[in-house]
């Protein structure tokens, strides 16, 4: 079955960096688009970044220039590199994909930006 496993979250000071990997299994990763979403306390889940199977990327305006999504097809892993983190980036970050018409989510990883 499809599994997405995120890791790499934690507590970081404002201005710091984190890299979140999401390891995928049960899909043909190299031909599958991948997404990162996040959900802050009391807010709706929102799209942060996406990457297509051919490497085209898109970002939410709030993270452009600070976050980078990239993929390693040899490792079946998509990454979210987060730089210049702000307190408003605090959220649970989720990996998402779609396969055979169904949406799949990871369990999420907590990112807290605080001094």
Q: Mind listing the pLDDT tens digit for each residue in 13-41?
A: 999 999 999 999 999 999 999 999 999 99
What pLDDT does 38 receive?
Answer: 98
Distance CA 94, CA 88 (A): 16
* Residue 91 near residue 38, CB atoms below 8 Å: yes
Question: Per-10-residue mean pLDDT for the chain, 115 residues long?
Answer: 96 98 94 96 96 97 98 97 98 96 96 97
What pLDDT does 106 receive?
Answer: 97
pLDDT above 70 coverage of the chain, percent: 100
DSSP string, 40-78: -TTS--EEEEEE-TT--EEE-TTTTTTEEEEEEGGGTEE
What pLDDT does 50 receive?
Answer: 98
């Amino acid at each position: 079955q499809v599994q997405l496993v995120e890791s790499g979250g934690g507590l970081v000071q404002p201005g710091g960096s984190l890299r979140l990997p999401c390891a995928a299994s049960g899909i043909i990763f190299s031909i599958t688009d991948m997404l990162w979403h996040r959900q802050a306390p009391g807010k709706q889940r929102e799209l942060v970044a996406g990457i297509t199977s051919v490497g085209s990327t898109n970002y939410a305006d709030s993270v452009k220039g600070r976050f980078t999504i990239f993929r390693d097809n040899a490792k079946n892993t998509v990454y979210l590199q987060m730089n210049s983190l702000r307190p408003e980036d605090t959220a649970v970050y989720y990996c998402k994909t779609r396969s055979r018409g169904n949406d799949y989510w990871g369990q999420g990883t907590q990112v807290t930006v605080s001094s």
